[in-house]
Amino acid sequence: MDHETSTGHVTRKTVLRAALAAGMAAPAVLMGVPALARTLTGGEEAPELTPTCDDGDDPTPAQMEGPYFKPNSPRRSSLLEGNTPGVRLTVSGYVFGLACRPISGVLLDFWQADTNGAYDNTGFRFRGHQFTGADGSFKLTTIVPGLYPGRTRHIHVKAQAPGRPVLTTQLYFPGEPRNNTDSLFDPRLLMTVRDAGGAREAAFDFVLNVPQNPGPTPTPTQTTQPPGGSWAVGTAYRAGDAVTYGGAAYVCLQAHTAQPGWQPPNVPSLWRAA
């Protein structure tokens, strides 16, 4: 989990994710923590978190494809068909490169078992692919997969950035008893999960082995102001600070250092109109 630095500013990934997730509830943004928390059973140790995407970090771990992958899945973000039995599940998140910058156009191909633990090997039920948006985001609507002998609960995925190799891996659910007996289980691939009125919501951010430039580094002494406003790149803002930009007034919601592209109208998770 990301924490604040000694200067009181949240870490780079927290601010970037907050900026991307403009629809995130304000309280979660203000706390500077992910909106979803891992659920642990009594006595279960907190797992190692999914790798955060800072310069030089390792990418999301790969795992075996398994025997049930099928190519040419339909392009769709919902795997539900009619009155599909099972507990509804939404999985959302972002795909980042090694410098913590989002990657658009990433192919994500998902496949999983149905609520009874069976794979459809003749058709394409619970199989589908999609592409990340301009902000690197994705969202999958499906059900909680069932269990079958020898495995814990999981979802398969292949992720491929444009022109890059394919990452094949699996996503896991926290608090599952079989996590302790499944030899393939990797705690770094745990999703964050919460209950949502009879359904479940999960989140996972992929970090692909895609080299990236880290982007412009803010300079604290920079004071360039946009026309008609006091907001300035490189300024370290605190929650509650007030600025103007483009003739409108804004109040800071979360401590951060201003960067190009993070002008108040562009990042509702960091600024609200006064």
- pLDDT over 70 at 227, yes or no: no
Q: Residue 131: what pLDDT?
A: 96
Give me the pLDDT at residue 26, please.
30
Computed over every residue of the chain, the mean pLDDT equals: 79
State pLDDT tens for residues 147-188: 999 999 999 999 999 989 999 999 999 999 999 999 999 999
Looking up tokens 């630095």, which residue turns up?
Answer: 5
Whole-angstrom distance, CA of residue 272 vs CA of residue 274: 6
Return the pLDDT at 53: 56
Q: What is the pLDDT of residue 148?
A: 95
Q: Which residue has the tokens 């059973």?
A: 41
**CATH code for the domain defined by 12-33+216-273:** 2.10.10.20
> Residue 196 belongs to what H/E stretch?
strand 192-196
pLDDT digits (tens, 9 = 90+) for 86-128: 999 999 999 999 988 999 999 999 999 999 999 999 999 999 9
Residue 243: which residues within 8 A CB-CB, separation 6 or more? 229, 230, 231, 237, 249, 250, 252, 264, 271
Please report the beta strands in 41-189, taking only residues with DSSP state E, as ranges in sequence order. Answer: 88-96, 107-111, 127-131, 137-143, 154-160, 166-172
Q: What is the pLDDT of residue 232?
A: 87
Lowest mean pLDDT among 64-73, 133-142, 253-262: 253-262
pLDDT class for 17, splitting at 50, 70, 90?
low
CATH number for the segment(s) 88-207: 2.60.130.10
Spacing of C-alpha 189 from chain mean position = 12
Q: How far apart are CA 243 and CA 274, in angstroms?
A: 9
Q: pLDDT tens, 234-274?
A: 888 888 999 998 888 989 887 777 766 677 887 676 778 88
Distance of CA 239 to the CA centre of its chain: 24
Q: How far apart are CA 179 and CA 172, in angstroms?
A: 8
| Domain ranges (residues) in the chain | 12-33+216-273, 88-207
Burial of 67 (0-12, 13-18, 19+ CB in 10 A): exposed
Q: How many CB atoms lie within 10 A of CB 191?
A: 23
Q: Which amino acid is at 252?
A: C
pLDDT band for 39, please (50, 70, 90 cuts).
very low
Same topology, domains 12-33+216-273 and 88-207? Answer is: no
In the predicted structure, residue 4 carries a pLDDT above the cut 60 = no
Report the percentage of the chain scoring pLDDT > 90.
53
d(C-alpha 171, C-alpha 120), whole Å: 19
d(CA 194, CA 197): 10
Segment 25-50 mean pLDDT? 39
Q: pTM of the full predicted structure?
A: 0.65
CB-side exposure of 235: number of CA atoms within 13 Å?
A: 18
Q: What is the DSSP letter of 29?
A: H
